[in-house]
């Protein structure tokens, strides 16, 4: 089982834009309205934090790999190697480089229409870490920090998410 996580704040911002660009899911009149619903788990597919807490229980399962979007962004080549090893493959260095070159955010975004059809342009927006700083108010920042502390601080998944690195102003 491969589980991909993104930091909570960038997930919220990305999900806000997703909700407002996909006709088949509810849209929100403002970021503030969406943020309240997100924090209460009242968005499509439920609570980010409930999802994270549930997966934290499986973080050491031998058949489960949890990987972070931020790790992929930071060192895609190393992440590709990790993924291959997890699934029992032993690609050459050249194969790993080739896969990494085709799996960058920009490469995937460029082929999004071909691979994902009409939702391709919606699924792949910016691909940056830290976009949350463009929308979060200080109060929202503090509310999310407090929720993370209650739900994930001190857990193995919490450590893997590197909240202090990616979610502190």
| Structure confidence by residue, pLDDT tens digits, 47-89 | 999 999 999 999 999 999 999 999 999 999 999 999 999 999 9
Query: For residues 22 and 122, is the Cβ–Cβ distance under 8 A?
Result: yes
Q: Report phi then psi at 139, rounded to 5.
A: -65, -40
Tokens of 115: 């691979």
Q: Which pLDDT belongs to residue 153?
A: 96
Its CATH architecture, for the domain 2-166, is 3-Layer(aba) Sandwich (3.40)
Query: For residues 81 and 100, is the Cβ–Cβ distance under 8 A?
Result: no
Collapse the DSSP code of 2 into the 3-class scheme (helix H, G, I; strand E, B; otherwise coil) and give the result. strand
Is pTM beyond 0.85? Reply is: yes
Element containing residue 67 per DSSP (H, E): strand 65-68
Q: Tens digits of per-residue pLDDT, 115-125?
A: 777 766 666 66
Q: Which pLDDT belongs to residue 22?
A: 76
**In the chain, where the domains are located:** 2-166
């Amino acid at each position: 089982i491969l589980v991909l996580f993104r930091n909570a704040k960038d997930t919220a911002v990305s999900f806000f834009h997703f909700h407002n660009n996909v006709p088949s899911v509810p849209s929100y009149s403002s970021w503030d309205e969406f943020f309240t619903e997100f924090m209460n788990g009242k968005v499509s597919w439920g609570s980010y934090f409930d999802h994270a807490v549930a997966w934290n229980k499986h973080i050491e399962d031998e058949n489960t790999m949890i990987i972070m979007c931020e790790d992929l962004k930071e060192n895609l080549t190393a992440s590709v190697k990790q993924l291959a090893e997890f699934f029992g493959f032993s690609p050459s260095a050249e194969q790993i480089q080739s896969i990494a070159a085709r799996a960058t955010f920009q490469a995937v975004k460029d082929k999004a229409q071909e691979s994902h059809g009409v939702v391709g342009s919606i699924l792949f927006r910016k691909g940056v870490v830290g976009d949350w700083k463009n929308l979060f108010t200080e109060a929202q920042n503090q509310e999310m920090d407090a929720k993370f502390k209650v739900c994930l601080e001190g857990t193995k998944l919490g450590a893997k998410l590197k909240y202090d690195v990616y979610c502190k102003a």
